[in-house]
């Protein structure tokens, strides 16, 4: 597999696809994200790992616009997106999935996926066009449904799907608008080992060429997929490097054993 | 008008297969609208038919919010009422010399209501759920209060009256005879139904369902949920305004009562009873609304109580309304096994009615005791005369109920026995 940051092409672009600069998030008296900086280059696949409560999902909420950072900036392909609304950020080419599936419960699988791509196909708030006559949208939906192996439940309301099918649909909803940057929040949470393996292969296949951030609880799940790993502990970036380097990092190993090293500002700089 | 659920997938292959059935449904709907007054010829029933057509438009428009958008509005009468007032004032202008065909006046009502919704809806639709319900209620009260203190426009207690026989009379149609107006209403009903049905099959219509199910996700697929709600809210107001405009032509009198919370509540109640999860549910609800409001008060003084009981029972046990019950029954009736148990099912139904009959009898007798000045103390029922003052009547009906409950228990076991393979 070609890795974007290995090729000169990635360098030619000259700018990260997603750039988080000194982001800070405070809820009341608690700092959830502490002065976090992270640059992701086009085509890179970054896994964000860390223990529960490290702020991984909050980080996604901040990037995707569900939450606004207390300070700092987020840039998406040269545009500043912090403070923008989720739908505005999505229109700029960033999409995300949720840790707890966010589906249109009573709509069919087909309608779920189609709704997720209508905006990108330029249909907007149209009330003068019939969905049935949107050949492009319907064909794309059908194709995506097949790739997700959901075509046999096309007409089933999302709420009646099995858990694994709901997770596949959740992934499909994030992919449907063909985003440049994709954030996946624990896509395999709650799956069995064999389901996880199968599903990670599906993610690998479907996200080729996309800039990907994937939150994972379990480091071993993402080794095969990620180019880089970012380790978050207590709202801070403990390490951000290639997979091998992060694996070998004694501080990461220690953090994962439960003993978090008090990272000095100098250390942060070294790792960021 | 099809039985297709609002929420189901509609894809080209299925659509093509169902075209025949759909044409038949729409043709049947148009035929019923066209032929009903030939069958129901009395002026009372034709007036009821006109009111049903109007109610269908308003209830369907209400269901754009309730069923399709998951938005409980307590102030829909604001928009049907605004349409009615605009229409009656326009009618009086036409009488004064404006060159506008009377048949287009309902559209003026619709556009006016849409304009009002463009303004008020901006506030209302920023939030869904409880805040939406609260704000619609607040605006409803506000508009009603405003209508009462601005008698110049809203006509005060007496309301504003008009005369629909005015302006030019194309092809000799003056709308003087109620039957001519009925056909205008029927035409509007058909077209509005078709337009609202069409809306459910467009990107905006489907996104409305999506916003109902999960606004958070909608925001992550490029849509602003507020904008989806806002646009549909304006459309719902348009159709409500058309309905209001037609009612102004029908009654030739509009008073501030059209804005009342009671009326908004009736729209909610009957749209729900008809069935908000099916497109055609509110049509049933609208027909029932007109029948209930015009016939029930003459049948029993306790009609509002029964309406409330039915509403509560349906919210708890049949949230899909009559439409869902009907469809479920239709599907079960298609099974031969279901028919084979007809004696058991009939026994179950009859005994259940018998078991709850004392509640009904007691309510009626209580009302007769309370309203002794207006009502006779006796109540005829299946050839029996019950007397509210006689303990025998109270006790007897209770015994009948107890007997019914026993029968119900027996027939339930009987049915269970037959259902066992």
Task: Show pLDDT as tens, one digit a residue, over chain B (421 residues).
Answer: 333 344 444 444 455 557 888 889 999 999 999 999 999 888 889 999 999 999 999 999 999 999 999 999 999 999 999 999 999 999 999 998 888 999 999 999 999 999 999 999 999 999 889 999 999 999 999 999 999 899 888 988 889 999 888 877 777 788 888 899 999 999 999 999 999 999 999 999 999 999 999 999 999 999 999 999 999 999 999 999 999 999 999 999 999 999 999 999 999 999 999 999 999 999 999 999 999 999 888 888 888 899 899 899 989 988 899 999 998 888 887 777 777 888 888 898 999 999 988 888 888 888 888 887 777 877 777 777 888 888 888 888 899 999 999 999 999 998 888 877 6
Is A223 a member of any domain? yes
Show residues of chain A in contact with B7, CB under 8 Å: 106-108, 111, 157
Task: Say if residues A230 and A49 touch (Cβ distance below 8 Å).
Answer: yes
User: Residue B194: how many CB atoms within 10 A of its CB?
Assistant: 14
Partner residue opposite A131 with nearest CB, options B203, B214, B228: B203
Task: Say if residues B96 and B119 touch (Cβ distance below 8 Å).
Answer: no
Phi and psi of B298, rounded to 5°?
-80, -20
Tell me what pLDDT residue A257 has: 54
- Could you tell me if A85 lies within 8 Å of chain B, comparing CB atoms? yes
- Could you tell me if A122 lies within 8 Å of chain B, comparing CB atoms? no
The C-alpha of A27 sits at a distance from chain B's nearest C-alpha, in angstroms, of 21
Partner residue opposite B9 with nearest CB, options A126, A154, A176: A154
B21, B310, B318, B320, B415 from B335: Cα distances, Å: 21, 28, 21, 22, 16
A69 lies in which domain range? 4-93+179-271
Show residues of chain A in contact with B227, CB under 8 Å: 125
Task: Say if residues B2 and B23 touch (Cβ distance below 8 Å).
Answer: no
Cα–Cα distance, B241 to B252 (Å, whole number): 16
A46, A266, B200 from A270: Cα distances, Å: 19, 6, 56
- Could you tell me if A130 lies within 8 Å of chain B, comparing CB atoms? yes
Beta A228-233 vs A211-216: how paired, if at all?
unpaired
Q: From the candidates B7, B11, B19, B220, which should be mutated to test the interface with A, based on the most A CB atoms within 10 A?
A: B220
Start-to-end CA distance of chain B, whole Å, equals 38
User: Residue A183: how many CB atoms within 10 A of its CB?
Assistant: 25
Beta A236-242 vs A181-185: how paired, if at all?
unpaired
Query: In chain A, which residues have pLDDT < 70?
Result: 1-13, 256-272
Which residues, 6 or more positions from A63, have their beta carbon under 8 angstroms from its beta carbon?
A: A18, A20, A74, A81, A89, A94, A96, A183, A213
Tell me what pLDDT residue B421 has: 65
Query: Which residues pair with residue A19 across a beta bridge?
Result: A39, A75
- Could you tell me if A139 lies within 8 Å of chain B, comparing CB atoms? no
Tell me what pLDDT residue B17 has: 57
| Interchain pair A114, B198: CB under 8 A | no
Cα–Cα distance, B30 to B323 (Å, whole number): 19
Of B286, B294, B371, nearest to B321 by C-alpha is B286
The C-alpha of A79 sits at a distance from chain B's nearest C-alpha, in angstroms, of 17
Show residues of chain A in contact with B216, CB under 8 Å: 66, 102
Q: What is the CATH number of the domain that holds A46?
A: 3.40.50.300
Residues B339-366: b if buried by 16+ CB within 10 A, e if exposed: eebeebbebbeebbebbebbebbbbbbe
- Could you tell me if B199 lies within 8 Å of chain A, comparing CB atoms? yes
The 3 state secondary structure assigned to chain B is CCCCECCCCCCHHHHHHHHHHHHHHHHHHHHHHHHHHHHCCCHHHHHHHHHHHHHHHHHHHHHHHHHHCCCCCCCCHHHHHHHHHHHHHHHHHHHCCCCCCHHHHHHHHHHHHHHHHHHHHHHHCCCCHHHHHHHHHHHHHHHHHHHHHCHHHHCCCCCEECCCCCCCCHHHCCCCCHHHHHHHHHHHHHHHHHHHHHHCCCHHHHHHHHHHHCHHHHHCCCCCHHHHHHHHHHHHHHHHHHHHHHHHHHHCEECHHHHCHHHHHHHHHHHHHHCCCECCHHHHHHHHHHHHHHHHHHHCCCHHHHHHHHHHHHHHHCCCHHHHHHHHHHHHHCCHHHHHCHHHHHHHHHHHHHHHHHHHHHHHHHHHHHCCCCCCCEEEECCEEEECCCHHHHHHHHHHHHHHHHHHHHHHHHHHHHHCC
Task: Say if residues B117 and B109 touch (Cβ distance below 8 Å).
Answer: no
| Interchain pair B203, A117: CB under 8 A | no
- In terms of CA atoms, which chain A residue is nearest residue B213? A104
| Interchain pair B12, A132: CB under 8 A | yes
Show residues of chain B in contact with A127, CB under 8 Å: 199, 202-205, 231, 235
| Interchain pair A119, B221: CB under 8 A | yes
Partner residue opposite A87 with nearest CB, options B15, B213, B224: B224
Residues B222-260: b if buried by 16+ CB within 10 A, e if exposed: bbbbbbbbbbbbbbbbbbbbbbbbbbbbbbbebbbebbb
Of B66, B117, B75, B113, nearest to B279 by C-alpha is B66
Partner residue opposite A111 with nearest CB, options B202, B206, B227: B206
A62 is written with which tokens?
């901040």
Task: Say if residues A109 and A191 touch (Cβ distance below 8 Å).
Answer: no
Residue written as tokens 């801070």?
A236
- Could you tell me if B214 lies within 8 Å of chain A, comparing CB atoms? yes
Cα–Cα distance, B151 to B389 (Å, whole number): 48
| Count of CB pairs separated by less than 8 Å, A with B | 127
Is A167 a member of any domain? no
Show residues of chain A in contact with B221, CB under 8 Å: 87, 90, 95, 115-119, 173, 176-177
| Interchain pair A131, B218: CB under 8 A | no
- Could you tell me if B246 lies within 8 Å of chain A, comparing CB atoms? no
B74 is written with which tokens?
């307590």
Show residues of chain B in contact with A120, CB under 8 Å: 222
Of A86, A125, A88, A91, nearest to B232 by C-alpha is A125
Nearest-10 Cα torsion for B150, B154, B155, B157: -80
Partner residue opposite B219 with nearest CB, options A86, A108, A176: A86
For A122-159, what is each residue's pLDDT tens digit?
999 999 999 999 999 999 999 999 999 999 999 999 99
Cα–Cα distance, B37 to B35 (Å, whole number): 6
User: Residue B367: how many CB atoms within 10 A of its CB?
Assistant: 18
Residue written as tokens 């490290």?
A54
Distance of CA A163 to the CA centre of its chain: 20
The C-alpha of B170 sits at a distance from chain A's nearest C-alpha, in angstroms, of 31
Beta B378-381 vs B253-254: how paired, if at all?
unpaired
Task: Say if residues B359 and B310 touch (Cβ distance below 8 Å).
Answer: no
Query: Which residues pair with residue A75 across a beta bridge?
Result: A19, A80
Task: Say if residues B242 and B110 touch (Cβ distance below 8 Å).
Answer: yes
Is A114 a member of any domain? no
Angle at B120 (CA atoms; ends B117, B122), nearest 5 degrees: 95
Of chain A residues 214-253, which have a CB less than 8 A from chain B?
Answer: none
The C-alpha of B32 sits at a distance from chain A's nearest C-alpha, in angstroms, of 27
The C-alpha of A231 sits at a distance from chain B's nearest C-alpha, in angstroms, of 26
Which residues, 6 or more positions from A163, have their beta carbon under 8 angstroms from its beta carbon?
A: A190, A191
Partner residue opposite A96 with nearest CB, options B201, B212, B220: B220
Cα–Cα distance, A218 to A235 (Å, whole number): 18
Residues B288-325: b if buried by 16+ CB within 10 A, e if exposed: bbbebbeeeeeebbbeeeebeeebeebeeebebbbbbe
The C-alpha of A125 sits at a distance from chain B's nearest C-alpha, in angstroms, of 5
Cα–Cα distance, A244 to A237 (Å, whole number): 17
DSSP character at residue A60: H
| Interchain pair A108, B209: CB under 8 A | no
Is A247 a member of any domain? yes
Cα–Cα distance, B136 to B140 (Å, whole number): 6
DSSP character at residue A100: S
Task: Say if residues B50 and B181 touch (Cβ distance below 8 Å).
Answer: yes
Q: From the candidates B15, B126, B221, which should be mutated to test the interface with A, based on the most A CB atoms within 10 A?
A: B221
Count of domains forming chain A: 1
Q: What pTM value is reported for the model? A: 0.88
């Amino acid at each position: 597999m070609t890795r974007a940051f290995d090729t000169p092409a990635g360098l030619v672009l000259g700018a990260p696809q997603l750039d988080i600069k000194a982001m800070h998030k405070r809820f009341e008296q608690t700092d959830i994200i502490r002065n976090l900086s992270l640059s992701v280059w086009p085509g890179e696949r970054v896994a964000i790992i860390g223990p529960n409560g490290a702020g991984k999902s909050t980080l996604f909420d901040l990037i995707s616009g569900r939450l606004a950072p207390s300070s700092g900036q987020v840039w998406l392909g040269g545009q500043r997106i912090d403070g923008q609304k989720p739908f505005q950020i999505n229109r700029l080419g960033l999409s995300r999935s949720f840790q707890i599936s966010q589906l249109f419960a009573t709509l069919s699988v087909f309608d779920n996926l189609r709704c997720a791509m209508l905006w990108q196909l330029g249909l907007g708030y149209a009330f003068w066009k019939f969905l049935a006559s949107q050949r492009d949208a319907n064909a794309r939906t059908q194709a995506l449904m097949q790739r997700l192996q959901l075509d046999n439940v096309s007409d089933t309301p999302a709420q009646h799907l099995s858990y694994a099918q709901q997770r596949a649909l959740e992934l499909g909803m994030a992919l449907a608008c063909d985003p440049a940057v994709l954030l996946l929040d624990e896509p395999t949470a709650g799956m069995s080992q064999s389901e996880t393996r199968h599903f990670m292969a599906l993610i690998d296949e479907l996200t080729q060429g996309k800039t990907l951030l994937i939150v994972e609880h379990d480091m071993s799940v993402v080794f095969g997929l990620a180019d880089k790993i970012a380790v978050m502990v207590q709202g801070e970036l403990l390490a951000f490097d290639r997979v091998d380097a992060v694996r070998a990092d004694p501080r990461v190993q220690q953090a994962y054993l439960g003993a978090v090293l008090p990272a000095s500002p100098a250390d942060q700089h070294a790792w960021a | 008008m099809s039985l297709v659920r609002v929420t189901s997938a509609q894809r080209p292959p299925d659509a093509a297969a169902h075209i025949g059935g759909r044409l038949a449904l729409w043709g049947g709907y148009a035929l019923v609208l066209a032929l009903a007054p030939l069958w129901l010829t009395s002026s009372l029933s034709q007036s009821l038919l006109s009111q049903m057509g109007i109610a269908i438009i308003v209830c369907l428009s209400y269901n754009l919010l309730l069923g399709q958008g998951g938005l409980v509005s307590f102030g829909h009468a604001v928009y049907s009422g605004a349409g009615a007032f605009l229409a009656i004032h326009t009618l009086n202008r036409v009488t004064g010399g404006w060159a506008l065909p009377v048949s287009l006046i309902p559209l003026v009502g619709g556009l006016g209501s849409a304009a009002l919704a463009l303004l008020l809806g901006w506030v209302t639709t920023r939030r869904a759920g409880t805040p939406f319900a609260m704000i619609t209620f607040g605006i409803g009260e506000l508009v009603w209060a405003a209508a009462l203190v601005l008698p110049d426009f809203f006509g005060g207690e007496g309301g504003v009256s008009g005369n629909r026989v005015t302006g030019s009379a194309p092809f000799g149609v003056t709308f003087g005879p109620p039957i001519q107006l009925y056909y205008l209403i029927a035409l509007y009903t058909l077209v509005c139904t078709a337009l609202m049905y069409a809306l459910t099959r467009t990107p905006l219509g489907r996104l409305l369902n999506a916003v109902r199910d999960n606004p958070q996700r909608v925001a992550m697929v490029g849509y602003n949920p507020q904008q989806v709600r806002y646009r549909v809210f304006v459309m719902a107001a348009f159709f409500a305004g058309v309905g209001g405009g037609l009612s102004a032509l029908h009654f030739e009198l509009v008073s501030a009562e059209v804005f009342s919370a009671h009326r908004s509540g009736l729209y909610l109640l009957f749209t729900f009873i008809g069935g908000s999860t099916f497109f055609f549910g509110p049509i049933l609800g609208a027909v029932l609304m007109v029948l209930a409001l015009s016939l029930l008060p003459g049948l029993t003084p306790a009609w509002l109580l029964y309406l409330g009981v039915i509403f509560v029972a349906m919210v708890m046990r049949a949230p899909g309304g009559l439409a869902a019950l009907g469809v479920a029954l239709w599907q079960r009736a298609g099974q031969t096994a279901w028919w084979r148990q007809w004696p058991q099912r009939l026994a179950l139904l009859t005994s259940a009615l018998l078991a709850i009959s004392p509640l009904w009898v007691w309510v009626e007798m209580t009302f007769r005791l309370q309203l002794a000045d207006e009502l006779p103390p006796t109540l005829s029922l299946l050839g029996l005369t019950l007397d509210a003052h006689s303990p025998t009547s109270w006790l007897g009906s209770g015994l009948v109920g107890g007997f019914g409950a026993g029968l119900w228990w027996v027939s339930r076991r009987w049915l269970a026995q037959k259902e066992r393979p």
